[in-house]
Amino acid sequence: MTATPQAKTTARSMSTLEFWSRGAARGAASRYPTGWWRFFRISAPALFLASALTVATLPQAAWGQKPIDKNAPATFSADTMSQDKAKGIITASGHVEVNQDQRTLLADKIVYDQKNDLLSAKGHIILREPSGEVVFAKDMKISGDLKNGIVHNLRIVMKDKSRFAARTATLRENRFTKLGRAVYTACNACKKDPSRPPLWQVKAMEIFHDKKAQSVEYKDAWVEFAGVPIAYTPYLSHPDPSVKRRSGLLPPRFGGTTDLGATVETPYFYAISPSSDVTLRPIFTSKEGPVLAGDYRQRFRKGEINLDASLTKDSKKITHGHVIGMGRFDIDNTWRWGADLQRTTQDTYMRRYGLGTQNTLTSKIFAEGFRGRNYFSAKSYLFQSLRANDKPGSIPLVAPMLDYSHVSEPSRYGAYNTLDLSMVALTRSKSTDDQRFSFRSGWHLPYTAPKGDIYDLSATVQGDLYHVNGLKRTDGSTFTGYKARLHPQLAFDWRYPFVRQENRDIYQLIEPITSFVVAPYGGNPSSIPNEDSLDVEFDTTNLFSHDRFAGYDRVEGGPRVNYGIKWGVYGSSGGSTSVLFGQSYRLKADSTFAAGTGLNDRFSDYVGRVHIQPGHLVDLLYRTRIDKKTHAISRNEVRISAGTPAFNISSNYIYFPKQADSEYNGRKELSLNIKSQLSRYWRGSVSGVRDLQTGGGMRSTSLSLAYEDECFVFKTDVQRTYYQDREIQPSDAFVFEIVFKTLGSVRANTTR
């Protein structure tokens, strides 16, 4: 098993420290010979360090502690101090306290035997570490060379509140630590009855810590849950927390599906180097062949690589596999490059084996640069569709795609220029090939009048040059050749926000908004392909846009005006309600917009948005599009979230019909999610998605219940998906997971 990352600890002896006394120690110093006090100045830090070093070798106590600063001074105080010169024994007793480098040692008594070179501390020993750990013990003895020692009745409280306890702890050769009859838990003690066993704990007859090998071994270990033993192992080992990464087996995962049968995943982690590792995840199935899956990761000073892949041969002796990879690299402060690789051998393979749910796999390679007010990117794309109705020959290879953007510094009057350049080439095996070069240049002048009204004047021109091969036009003919286009545009935006204070806590806003755009008619001949502007969604987000097409291939022509009004009420405590409603008008209808977009006539459909958020307990968003003739609802979207952590409900309803010439079907869908923090430790949720179209039905349902406290997590989920694609049928899934915090987890899932 791999250990969780922990900071490394170095335990080392200290050189002689300058030592000051305080409190009663000052008086004691004056009553003893000068020679003795000089000796005590040397040995007292050793007493303190011996305690610290002994604890540092115990499991978890100093794994992650920072080393003591050997040059830091220490202070010492005690009620009384004495010296037996004949026996060579120095004793400090009564509220003994040693402080050094934010580390504090408390004890009832500290004794140093000079003849036997033995240090000891007794009674209510408490060591507080600067990293947050606290160590308790009854008595402790350690040799003067700090290599051998023993501690009785040891207890350690870690910074994360986890605990160790042992009857005895023995240090040998400053390397090996042995804990006898030891217990470990991350659970807090019961406040009502501290004598009750914690929720879970690990008991072992012996625990060995090899500081040099950085390993911890348990012998005769039991895992107890609520005081009841549930698992036993004669031997268990793992790296100590000072080890950030180490090769080893990870907890297995169990599951099953109707298609694959019972499944077992047994991952193995291998640390290749400090900056790279691989996790092999063999998956064994009862109905199909085994799957060899794995992840590879590597970090560089200026980049990273992540790779996920699998390979299998099914019961029909057909080989399947997939690869999902990503790399990102910084060249300098301006440039970076990267690549994504996503491929699979079969459309349904990843979904069948639980390796992914994508409908399209996108591979790309890119480079981009950012400098000042400039941006440049070069990209290439390769797509793999996993949907049944997609034709592979119609999916393009995009290589290259070049984009450049520049925004100038504002002039003394606030005007600025913009320039966008774009070049792209699309190649298909069984359909149209085309290449495009475009530029879009603009001049913009924003202005805010003294009374608060806001103006924006802009003039832009777009130029395009296309070369197409085998383009099918609307009249049924095929076009091959070059086509150029030049499209100028002039726009003027105006808005005037009126604000009124209703009272000292409420403000009301009314803001009329208008946008005038002038451009030549047309501009979209049938000899220009449409690759990047296939679908248009008209709503409040683009109501005042100068061009509602997302890409370069289609332009919005003709004189037009967009108008609307915004109203809002805002409270000083954060609550608000806002409404936006508007429409667009053009002098002539534009056939470029397909039927159903709401923009194909002179007057567009009405679009509106209502956002109500009276406080943090309720959030309601409603967006709609209303037919300008029949006033029927053309599009509806409602999103609501309300409630407290004790009971919270969120829902989303969406409706829009299929647009003409669109590859996307319409949707009428309702989703609902109810979640509750049932108590301090228990939480649950219920969710579902239903297709409200004729002949639709449920898309998915799920029920989850979880318990979580400071040391333990229990999760269970029941899911039903109604997705169906070729051999993939609707399924039921049951997921069960138990997490022992700081130790590990057990997970099982079954799908039928």
pLDDT digits (tens, 9 = 90+) for 609-666: 999 999 889 999 999 999 999 999 989 999 999 999 999 999 999 998 877 666 667 7
Beta strands in 59-199 (DSSP E): 74-77, 80-84, 89-100, 103-113, 118-128, 134-143, 149-157, 163-172, 176-185
DSSP state of 259: T
- 324, 356 Cβ separation under 8 angstroms: yes
- The burial class, CB within 10 Å (0-12 / 13-18 / 19+), for 738 is middle
Position 92, amino acid: A
Position 379, amino acid: K
Tokens 């095996």 sit on residue: 429
Query: Does position 100 have pLDDT exceeding 80, yes or no?
Result: no
Token pair listed for 289: 């062949």
Query: Does position 51 have pLDDT exceeding 70, yes or no?
Result: no
Going by pLDDT thresholds of 50, 70 and 90, the confidence category of residue 145 is low
Which contiguous run of DSSP H or E holds residue 485?
strand 478-495
Task: Report d(CA 216, CA 242) in Å as an integer.
Answer: 11
Position 592, amino acid: T
Token pair listed for 533: 């502007």
Out of 145-149, 401-405, 413-417, 457-461, least confident range: 145-149
Task: Report d(CA 734, CA 731) in Å as an integer.
Answer: 10
Which contiguous run of DSSP H or E holds residue 708?
strand 697-708
19-200 CATH fold: lipopolysaccharide transport protein A fold (2.60.450)
Q: Kindly give, in sequence order, each residue whose CB lies less than 8 Å from that of residue 532, ignoring residues fewer than 6 positions away.
A: 550, 551, 552, 553
Instruction: Give percent of the chain above pLDDT 90.
Output: 50
Q: In the beta sheet, which residues pair with residue 372? A: none
- Exposure string over 436-474, b if 16+ CB within 10 A, otherwise e: bbbbbbbebbeeeeeeeeeeebbebebebebebeebeee
Task: Report d(CA 375, CA 366) in Å as an integer.
Answer: 13
DSSP-assigned letters across all residues of 405-421: EEEPPP-TTS-EEEEEE
Query: Does position 23 have pLDDT exceeding 60, yes or no?
Result: no
Task: Report d(CA 282, CA 401) in Å as an integer.
Answer: 39
Task: Report d(CA 362, CA 381) in Å as an integer.
Answer: 7
DSSP-derived pairing of the beta strands 149-157 and 134-143: antiparallel
pLDDT tens, 578-621?
A: 999 999 999 998 888 888 888 989 999 999 999 999 988 999 99
Angle (nearest 5°) at CA 606 between 600 and 610 = 140
Q: How far is CA 663 from CA 284, 313, 660, in A?
A: 40, 35, 9
Q: What is the pLDDT of residue 193?
A: 86
Query: Does position 487 have pLDDT exceeding 90, yes or no?
Result: yes
Task: Report d(CA 201, CA 162) in Å as an integer.
Answer: 10
Q: What is the pLDDT of residue 57?
A: 36
Task: Report d(CA 627, CA 7) in Å as an integer.
Answer: 64
Query: Does position 191 have pLDDT exceeding 90, yes or no?
Result: no
Which contiguous run of DSSP H or E holds residue 42?
helix 34-56
pLDDT tens, 276-287?
A: 999 999 999 988
Three-state secondary-structure class, residue 463:
strand
Better-predicted residue by pLDDT, 175 or 427: 427
Q: What is the pLDDT of residue 689?
A: 93
Is pTM beyond 0.85? Reply is: no
Q: What is the pLDDT of residue 60?
A: 38
Q: Where are the domains of the chain?
A: 19-200, 670-752
Q: What is the pLDDT of residue 73?
A: 66
- The burial class, CB within 10 Å (0-12 / 13-18 / 19+), for 228 is exposed
Q: What is the pLDDT of residue 86?
A: 85
Query: Does residue 525 have a cis bond before it (omega within 30 degrees)?
Result: no
Averaged pLDDT for residues 185-200: 87
Ramachandran assignment for 354, one of left (phi > 0), alpha (psi -120 to 50 degrees), beta (any other): left
